[in-house]
Structure 1
Amino acid sequence: MSVFSHKPHHHDHDAEHFVEQVVRASEERGLRLTPLRREVLELVATSEKPAKAYDLLDRLRERHGNAAPPTVYRALDFLLTQGFIHKLESINAYVHCPHPAQSHQVPFLICDKCDSAVEVCDGRVAELIAAQADALGFTPQDQTLEVHGVCKGCRER
């Protein structure tokens, strides 16, 4: 049974609390959250919408004029591998994970008008996909489920 609630998580939150959770999870796992990795994490966490790598690079260059694309991508790869952030493949952007201490696969609802992303933390979805894969003798290695549409806020405008 999943530890996740059946409530979606909008990607607006207390960034400072989120970063503290990641710092704790990194310490518990014996990971090295370098100053640059932490800075990229903070940029993703404080972004009002899913963050694109080159937008992150531009923001890093405001602080560190010599930041290069590989620097950002290495930090993003580390954060992705550890499950601290998610990549939205269809829009090639990154969002923080509301459950950075837990490994999980979740679907996202993405608004095509405002680019908001909602993480659907409902373990039943992952369990259903896993059961279907098992029934077909399929071994999943990665999962990205993204549903595009229009959010309530944009519909009401």
Structure 2
Amino acid sequence: MANLSQLIARAQSLCEQRGVRLTAQRERVYEIIVQSKRAISAYDLLDVLRETEPQAKPPTVYRALDFLLSQGFVHKVESTNSFIACCLPGHEQHCSQLLICDSCGTVEECHTDTLSTALQQKANQVNFAVSHHVVETHGTCHTCQVATQKMQ
């Protein structure tokens, strides 16, 4: 994944192109998500945001999340009701494929074009208009597998 400054610069550029504002608060919420080592919930976001903005309230975070989701800068991990930064901001309508570790909570975004194509072809066959799609796969990451093997 790109580093924080690259993702922020990309988000700022996309917002300028689209005629929308990446306010300081939206940018700060985005930074928190990008810096998080795992998917982060809205309330955990709020806790981190309050470290620098004590007056922040839940609607502040939810408005920022709505904006970031609508611009494609973050993805919602539906099964855990949490959020991760998109590794390809600006690529419209890409199929987000998430590998979610049930042990440590890390989420890795990946892209398999053949899976995306197969899903779109199936949708076309049944005249289904896809607005967005997220494929979530749960399991155990390599780090947790190794840790489990060492404990045995």
TM-score, scaled relative to structure 1: 0.88
* Structure 2: 5+ residue stretches without partners: 148-152
Aligned residues: 146
Matches within 5 A, 1:60-139: 60-103=49-92, 104-139=94-129
SS of equivalent residue, structure 1 residue 94: strand
Q: How big is the shift at 1:81?
A: 0.5
Q: How big is the shift at 1:98?
A: 1.1
Counterparts of 1:91 and 1:138, CA distance in 2: 26
Runs of 4+ in 1 over 3 A off after TM superposition: none
TM-score, scaled relative to structure 2: 0.91
Does 1 or 2 have the higher relative contact order (CA < 8 Å, sep 6+)?
1
Counterparts of 1:105 and 1:26, CA distance in 2: 21
| Alignment-derived partner of residue 146 in structure 2 | 156
Say which structure is richer in helix: 2
Q: How big is the shift at 1:13?
A: 4.8
Q: Check whether the contact 1:112–1:148 (CA below 8 A) recurs between aligned residues.
A: yes
Q: Check whether the contact 1:106–1:122 (CA below 8 A) recurs between aligned residues.
A: no
| Alignment-derived partner of residue 14 in structure 1 | 3
* Structure 1: 5+ residue stretches without partners: 1-11
SS of equivalent residue, structure 1 residue 145: strand
